């Protein structure tokens, strides 16, 4: 590790030289540009749709339940029809993605399609053996394949207009504390983005990843779970290994993490807006508390054994 110290010291300079800074370059003019956002029923997607609408973008807000409370509130807060359109978009359904593309194409403003924000996602808690295969398949379909499905559909438009693609990841892509299934999908989407970002450079399309810390209270992506709920879903084989007391301890631990989440989702939306409007957007935007960033740093720089010890200690508490 110490042998690599000189390289670590040089890294900020290398990044500074490599980054295409454009001092004085004007930010993007939103008027006449369209953006599609997935997962706008609530959370970051809901907030972003309203923010982009206020900035002057034409917004296509994909909602899982277009007739639900979240979608109706979004339309009401945006002031009715006009530059914000709510549409049904279940990212696991190819027919929904095709219909979304057709709607966008038929209502493109004069400057065309500027951005795709892959925000839709789900989360849950549970140790690896506690969750059935069907749950793994569902999470992969929503959090990973859903983003890929939507991206592939809109790539021709994004290449044509040299637009932006923004993906919602998480610092949980680097480590896990009881929600490995969520970490798995976020780590996978990061690698997809890394490949896509390099491939799209030749077309002038920029790809950005948003990495929030704990914003559970802002997004409501993960409701608290009771030990009874978890226990009732366990297979008989798992019940033979774990007792109710252990399940209760793990539930208490995870729920305590959820209760510490930030309620200021606009911090994350600020990063998403910058990714869409900056003349030189970052490849990654990490929006997290200092201790969360420190944990990511430990994960990136230290041997796996060190990270395992840190996380095991946290779990033991």
- Alpha helix (H) residue ranges in the chain: 5-18, 43-55, 69-77, 94-106, 133-139, 146-161, 180-200, 216-219, 227-233, 236-241, 244-259, 266-277, 290-301, 304-316
Per the document, the length of the chain is 317
Structural contact between residues 10 and 92, judged by C-beta atoms closer than 8 angstroms: no
User: Considering 136, 161, 174, 182, which one is annotated as catalytic?
Assistant: 182
Strand partners, 70: none
Give the number of C-alpha atoms closer than 13 A to the C-alpha of residue 59, restricted to the C-beta side. 31
Structural contact between residues 115 and 276, judged by C-beta atoms closer than 8 angstroms: yes
Strand partners, 164: 115, 206
303: number of Cβ within 10 Å:
9
Collapsing DSSP to helix, strand or coil, 210 comes out as strand
Structural contact between residues 163 and 34, judged by C-beta atoms closer than 8 angstroms: no
Distance of alpha carbon 174 from alpha carbon 208, whole angstroms: 17
Is residue 182 annotated as part of the catalytic site, yes or no? yes
Strand partners, 211: 286
Tokens of 189: 């989407």
What residues are annotated to the active site?
182
């Amino acid at each position: 590790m110490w042998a690599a110290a000189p390289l670590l010291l040089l890294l900020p300079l290398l990044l500074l030289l490599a980054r295409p800074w454009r001092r004085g370059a004007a930010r993007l003019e939103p008027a006449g540009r369209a953006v599609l956002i997935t997962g706008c029923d609530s959370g970051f997607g809901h907030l972003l749709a309203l923010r982009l609408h206020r900035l002057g973008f034409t917004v296509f807000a994909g909602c899982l339940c277009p007739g639900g409370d979240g979608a109706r509130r979004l339309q009401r807060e945006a002031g009715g029809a006009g530059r914000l359109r709510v549409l049904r978009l279940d990212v696991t359904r190819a027919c929904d993605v095709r219909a979304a593309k057709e709607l966008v194409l038929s209502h493109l403003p004069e400057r065309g399609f500027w951005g795709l924000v892959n925000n839709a996602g789900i989360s849950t808690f549970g140790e690896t053996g506690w969750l059935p295969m069907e749950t793994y398949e569902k999470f992969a379909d929503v959090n990973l394949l859903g983003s890929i499905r939507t991206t592939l559909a809109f790539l021709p438009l994004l290449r044509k207009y040299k637009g932006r693609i923004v993906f919602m990841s998480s610092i949980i892509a680097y480590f896990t504390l009881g929600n490995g299934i969520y970490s798995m999908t976020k780590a996978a989407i990061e690698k997809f983005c890394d490949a896509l970002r390099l491939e799209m450079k030749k077309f002038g399309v920029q790809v950005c990843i948003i990495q929030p810390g704990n914003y559970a209270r802002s997004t409501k992506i993960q409701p608290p779970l009771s030990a009874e709920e978890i226990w009732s879903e366990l297979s008989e084989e798992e019940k033979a290994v774990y007792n109710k007391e252990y399940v209760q301890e793990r539930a208490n631990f995870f729920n305590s993490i959820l209760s510490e989440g930030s309620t200021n989702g606009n911090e994350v939306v600020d990063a998403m807006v910058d990714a869409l409007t900056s003349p030189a957007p970052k490849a990654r935007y990490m929006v997290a508390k200092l201790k969360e960033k420190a944990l990511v740093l430990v994960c990136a720089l230290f041997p796996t054994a060190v990270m395992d010890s840190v996380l095991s200690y946290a779990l033991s508490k």
